[in-house]
């Protein structure tokens, strides 16, 4: 255990080997969680789809059961940790909203979902991923803004992962982008959905535009707007290796504090643990006195 961070930490954004671009079993991450002084660990591997779309970055649909079973057995193996089973979902309108609430949260019995936009469908039907590091056209940026908004509007999610992730492809702010960011933040605030400050973006390193060095994401101009609008934030390790749990976690907390953004990791986790439905969740968050919002 670390000496200089007496408050235990909470992380709800953890991947496993099943997504094919991460390493480690749920038990490996639980062991690391204990080592780094986390007391609540939520697994949110990339969600599979019945038609296996986007399979390159996720488990097969038939592996979902094994994933849930592995997390459940890690929970038994580490009784001093509180362990949650979730998934990181993409918004796919053709599946219908019931897919998320009835299939994943219902039948599959998951505790929670986090939303993210990793892929967008362009007007010509082609699919575009966000993790490119090349500057993208205004059409692609618009598609990401739209997809991120829909994710917030339609899905039963407890938080939005890397809302500024596609800033990895954005060299500089434009009036359109600022307006799009404001729309995303306004819907998040309205629905009581916290926005994630994502440590994985920091781990992707910095680049330089107009002589200014910055991370791919989190991108500070986004968080400045989030603070202005009264958003709440969750710090997300977005761990793809067990030791990622702790890397840049404090740097993300520092970013939140610099902008005066309330960190609500524990509030979100406790709400899930209390068995509240995602629809109750926004209300639970907004009813909290300000001082309880910061762990
Ligand atoms: Zn991933
Ligand atoms: Zn993730």
Residue 109 lies in a domain: yes
CA 294, CA 286: separation in Å to the nearest integer?
13
Query: Rg for the chain (alpha carbons), in Å?
Result: 18
Structural domain harbouring 234: 9-293
CA 266, CA 293: separation in Å to the nearest integer?
8
**Whole-prediction pTM:** 0.92
Q: 3-class SS at 211? A: coil
Centre of ligand 2 from the C-alpha of residue 251, in Å:
18
What integer pLDDT is reported at residue 280 of this predicted model?
55
Q: What does the pLDDT look like over 178-198, one tens digit per residue?
A: 999 999 999 999 999 999 999
Pairing outcome for strands 82-89 and 112-115: parallel
| Torsion angle (degrees, nearest 10) of CA 146, 278, 196, 129 | -40
Average pLDDT in the chain:
92
Question: How many structural domains compose the chain?
Answer: 1
CA 131, CA 216: separation in Å to the nearest integer?
10
Centre of ligand 1 from the C-alpha of residue 256, in Å:
23
2 pLDDT above the threshold of 90:
no
106 pLDDT above the threshold of 70:
yes
| CATH number, domain containing residue 116 | 3.20.20.140
Residue 117's φ and ψ, nearest 5 degrees, are -110, 100
Are the CB atoms for 133 and 169 separated by under 8 Å? yes
- Residues at Cβ < 5 Å from ligand 2 ion: 88, 238
Residue 181 lies in a domain: yes
Residue 1 lies in a domain: no
Centre of ligand 1 from the C-alpha of residue 289, in Å:
34
Centre of ligand 1 from the C-alpha of residue 277, in Å:
26
Residue 2 lies in a domain: no
Indicate which ligand has the atom closest to the C-alpha of 56: 1
Centre of ligand 2 from the C-alpha of residue 125, in Å:
24
Q: What does the pLDDT look like over 24-37, one tens digit per residue?
A: 999 999 999 999 99
CA 287, CA 295: separation in Å to the nearest integer?
16
Q: 3-class SS at 277? A: coil
CA 288, CA 295: separation in Å to the nearest integer?
12
What integer pLDDT is reported at residue 284 of this predicted model?
55
Residue 118 lies in a domain: yes
Residue 135 lies in a domain: yes
What integer pLDDT is reported at residue 121 of this predicted model?
86
Question: Token pair 């986390």 is at which residue?
Answer: 38
HSE toward the beta carbon, residue 233, CA cutoff 13 A: 32
Phi-psi region of 151 (alpha: psi -120 to 50; beta: other; left: phi over 0): alpha
What integer pLDDT is reported at residue 129 of this predicted model?
83
Q: 198, 204, 122: which is closest to 169 by C-alpha?
A: 204
Centre of ligand 2 from the C-alpha of residue 45, in Å:
7
Centre of ligand 2 from the C-alpha of residue 15, in Å:
7
- Average pLDDT for 67-79: 98
CA 251, CA 246: separation in Å to the nearest integer?
10
pLDDT band at 275 (very low <50, low <70, confident <90, very high): confident
């Amino acid at each position: 255990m670390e000496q200089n961070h007496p408050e235990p930490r909470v992380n709800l954004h953890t991947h496993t080997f099943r997504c094919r671009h991460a390493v480690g079993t749920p038990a490996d991450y639980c062991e690391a969680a204990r080592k780094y002084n986390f007391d609540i660990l939520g697994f949110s591997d990339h969600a599979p789809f019945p038609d296996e779309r986007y399979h390159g970055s996720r488990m097969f649909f038939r592996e979902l059961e094994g994933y849930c079973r592995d997390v459940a057995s890690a929970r038994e193996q580490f009784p001093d940790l509180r362990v949650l089973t979730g998934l990181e979902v993409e918004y796919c309108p053709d599946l219908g909203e019931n897919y998320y609430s009835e299939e994943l949260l219902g039948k599959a019995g998951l505790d929670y979902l986090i939303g993210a936009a990793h892929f967008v469908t362009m007007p010509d039907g082609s699919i575009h991923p966000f993790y490119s590091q090349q500057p993208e056209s205004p059409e692609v940026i618009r598609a990401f803004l739209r997809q991120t908004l829909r994710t917030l509007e339609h899905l039963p999610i407890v938080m939005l992962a890397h809302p500024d992730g596609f800033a990895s492809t954005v060299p500089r702010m434009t009036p359109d982008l600022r307006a799009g960011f404001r729309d995303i933040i306004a819907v998040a605030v309205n629905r009581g959905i916290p926005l994630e400050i994502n440590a994985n973006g920091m781990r992707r390193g910095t680049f330089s535009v107009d002589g200014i060095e910055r991370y791919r994401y989190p991108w500070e101009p986004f968080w400045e707007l989030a603070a202005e609008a009264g958003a709440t934030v969750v710090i997300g390790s977005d761990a793809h290796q067990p030791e990622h749990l702790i890397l840049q976690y404090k740097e993300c907390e520092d970013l939140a504090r610099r902008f005066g953004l309330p960190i609500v990791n524990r509030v979100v986790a406790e709400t899930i643990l209390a068995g509240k439905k995602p629809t109750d969740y926004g209300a639970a968050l907004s009813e909290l006195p300000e001082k309880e919002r910061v762990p």
